[in-house]
């Protein structure tokens, strides 16, 4: 076989894997949406069987040899082919660094720890979880060592979620963000002591069936293609791609329009990214999303920078009134205040746009110390409280509201949290740049015209695939390496609005 045919063979094998991955995604999507309660055990077995079939494809000697062979002579391929080979080889080398007993050991530990976490959180009993967490930290370090012993362990973990990111650039950036946010939060705390007249205009009686229809209309306005995607409901909203089929889920609260709506818009941001990937490159790195941080930039951009803007509500509110008569006498200004409420709180997933990143930075700093070995697991709850007091000015009354609130660490996901804040940083930069290119985005949004903004994202973010890593993608799209200026300017502006 010549190089061209070998590359074609690689694409064929990657697509076979991607198709099996899509079938797996459907099993998981269905589990969260339509699976009858009594069928969960049989679903777990189906997922296990398909995962093992997929694993066999990914570790088939023919596949491994082919990738290794192609990677030895990048000069024989065009730019896109070289990307596919480089990224496939990179993932494969990480995968091969871990032998099967080690992978199984980690999977079993995380499965146990996840169960222990559920009861530990319920019982507010950090001590029950601590020995598991300690072992998980050890194994995370060992994993990093096995993959690349020459590099700082946290960097090796981080790049599983955000390829190309390093602690050396991430840490100062997040410190700067923290230092910029703390005074904003102080202003929010002062503000929060005053009574608010507008805080509840989206609370009331919002029948679920009307919300379903309204949320579908919102998807169409944003540009989400419902002929290649769906909107369903799940206890924990998420989105997934099943081949050329992008499925969003949301959850409605009958007494609060915001809950379902912002979940829907957030997931639509993820979904539109997936829908914007290059169809011809499907199944290969050139046609796959770049990183978790870039993915999150798209969900946060649409949720926060579009969905919470007064301009967009100029258009959305008259539409919403058609579904919800209760909104008849509500003003855009009142809605804008309602959807931009902000004040320090304990729980990350319930926190607002301004304080959210401080929750993330706290976790980033703690997990960096855990992996570096400068913080012991037993000291984690106390360190959590101290850090939260310093950054948010509040201290959780229990570990349940503190260190036990997230499942991530019990799953060994160290390096995952920062991608949430990277998403916010990237989103603000992308929006700032789009504004300079597209002119008056506010006027466009106030007419319900999201097409220019979406098209700009299509060209500058979606269609890139994995041709560049996250940092480089942002630099090419915006002309600036990732930095916190745009995000801080946006949030400062927002706090000013809240104070009005």
Q: Does 28 bind its own copies (CB under 8 A)?
A: no
CA 104-110-111 angle, to 5 degrees, is 90
Q: Does 27 bind its own copies (CB under 8 A)?
A: yes
Rounded CA separation 429/483 (Å): 8
438 binds its own copies (CB under 8 A): no
CB atoms within 10 A of CB 105: 15
Q: Does the annotation mark 209 as catalytic? A: no
Identify the CA nearest to 293 among candidates 430, 176, 180, 410: 430
Among 6, 30, 186, 343, binds its own copies (CB under 8 A): 30
243 makes contact with its own copies (CB under 8 A): yes
- CB nearer to its own copies: pick between 27 and 182: 27
Helices assigned H by DSSP within 34-78: 40-58, 61-71
Establish if 34 lies at the interface with its own copies (CB under 8 A): yes
- Choosing from 267, 288, 296, 367, the catalytic residue is 267
Say how far apart CA 492 and CA 185 lie, in whole Å. 10
Our finding on whether 455 is near its own copies (CB under 8 A) is: no
Report if residue 37 touches its own copies, rule: CB under 8 A.
yes
Residue 163 and residue 469 in contact, taking contact as beta carbons nearer than 8 Å: yes
The rounded distance, in Å, linking the Cα atoms of 339 and 355 is: 14
Least distance in angstroms from the C-beta of 7 to its own copies: 19
As a whole number of angstroms, the distance between CA 464 and CA 135 comes to: 39
Instruction: Name the residue among 265, 282, 262 with its Cα closest to residue 454.
Output: 265
| Token representation of residue 479 | 């002309």
Provide, rounded to whole angstroms, the least separation between the CB of residue 401 and its own copies: 34
The reply to whether 317 sits near its own copies by the rule CB under 8 A is: no
Least distance CB 459 / its own copies (angstroms):
21
Candidate list 1, 53, 347, 481; residue touching its own copies; CB under 8 A = 53
* Residues composing the chain: 500
Q: How many residues bind its own copies (CB under 8 A)?
A: 38
Indicate which single residue of 3, 9, 11, 26 sits in contact with its own copies (rule: CB under 8 A).
26
Site membership for its own copies, residue 217 (CB under 8 A): no
Residues in Cβ contact with 475 at an 8 Å cutoff, skipping those fewer than 6 apart:
481, 482
Taking CB under 8 A as the criterion, the residue among 32, 80, 217, 244 binding its own copies is 244
Query: Could you tell me the smallest distance in angstroms from the CB atom of residue 204 to its own copies?
Result: 25
Of 2, 5, 227, 280, the one binding its own copies (CB under 8 A) is 227
Residue 395 structure tokens: 């201290």
Q: Any contact of residue 48 with its own copies (CB under 8 A)? A: yes
Which C-beta is closer to its own copies: that of 3 or that of 16?
16
Burial 456-493 (b: 16+ CB within 10 A, else e): bbbebbbbbbbbbbbbebbeebbeeebbbebbbebbbe
Residue 169 interacts with its own copies (CB under 8 A)? no
Residues recognised as catalytic: 267
Chain positions contacting its own copies, by CB under 8 A: 15-16, 19-20, 22-24, 26-27, 30, 34-39, 41-43, 45-46, 48-50, 52-53, 57, 225-230, 242-245, 282
């Amino acid at each position: 076989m010549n190089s061209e045919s070998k590359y074609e063979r690689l694409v064929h094998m990657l697509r076979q894997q991607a198709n099996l991955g899509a079938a797996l995604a459907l099993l998981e999507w269905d589990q969260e949406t339509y699976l009858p309660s009594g069928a969960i055990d049989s679903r777990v077995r189906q997922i296990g069987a398909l995962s093992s079939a997929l694993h066999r494809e990914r570790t088939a000697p023919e596949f491994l040899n082919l990738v290794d062979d192609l990677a030895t002579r990048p000069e024989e391929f065009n730019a896109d082919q070289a990307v596919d080979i480089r990224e496939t080889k990179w993932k494969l080398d990480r995968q091969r660094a871990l032998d099967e007993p080690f992978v199984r050991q980690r999977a079993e530990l995380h499965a146990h720890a996840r169960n222990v976490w559920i009861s530990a959180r319920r019982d507010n009993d950090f001590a029950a979880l601590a020995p598991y967490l300690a072992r998980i930290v050890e194994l995370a370090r060992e994993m990093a060592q096995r993959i690349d012993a020459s590099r700082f362990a946290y960097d090796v973990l981080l790049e599983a979620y955000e390829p190309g990111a390093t602690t050396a650039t991430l840490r100062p950036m997040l410190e700067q963000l923290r230092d910029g946010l703390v005074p904003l939060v102080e202003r929010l705390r002062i503000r929060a002591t005053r009574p608010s007249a507008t805080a509840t205009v989206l609370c009331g009686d919002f029948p679920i069936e009307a919300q379903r229809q309204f949320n579908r209309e919102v998807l169409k306005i944003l540009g989400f293609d419902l002929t290649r995607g769906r909107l369903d409901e799940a206890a924990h909203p998420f989105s997934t791609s099943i081949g050329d089929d992008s499925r969003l889920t949301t959850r409605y609260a009958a007494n609060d329009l915001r809950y379902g709506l912002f979940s829907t818009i957030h997931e639509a941001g993820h979904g539109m990214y997936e829908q914007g990937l290059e169809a011809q490159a499907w199944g290969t790195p050139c046609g796959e999303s770049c990183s978790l941080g870039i993915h999150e930039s798209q969900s946060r951009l649409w949720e926060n920078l579009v969905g919470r803007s007064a301009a967009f509500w100029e258009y959305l509110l008259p539409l919403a009134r058609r579904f919800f008569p209760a909104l008849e006498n509500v003003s855009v200004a009142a809605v804008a205040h309602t959807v931009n409420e902000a004040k320090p709180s304990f729980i990350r997933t319930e926190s607002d746009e301004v304080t959210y990143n401080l929750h993330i930075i706290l976790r980033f700093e703690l997990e960096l110390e855990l992996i570096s070995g400068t913080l012991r697991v037993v000291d984690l709850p106390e360190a959590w409280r101290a850090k939260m007091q310093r950054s948010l000015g509040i201290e959780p009354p229990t570990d349940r509201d503190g260190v036990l609130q997230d499942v991530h660490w019990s799953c060994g996901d160290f390096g995952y949290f920062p991608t949430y804040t990277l998403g916010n940083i990237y989103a603000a930069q992308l929006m700032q740049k789009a504004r300079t290119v597209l002119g008056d985005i506010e006027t466009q949004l106030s007419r319900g015209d999201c097409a220019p903004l979406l098209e700009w994202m299509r060209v500058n973010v979606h269609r890139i695939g994995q041709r560049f890593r996250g940092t480089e993608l942002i630099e090419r799209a915006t002309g600036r390496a990732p930095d916190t200026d745009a995000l801080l300017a946006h949030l400062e502006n927002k706090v000013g609005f809240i104070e009005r």
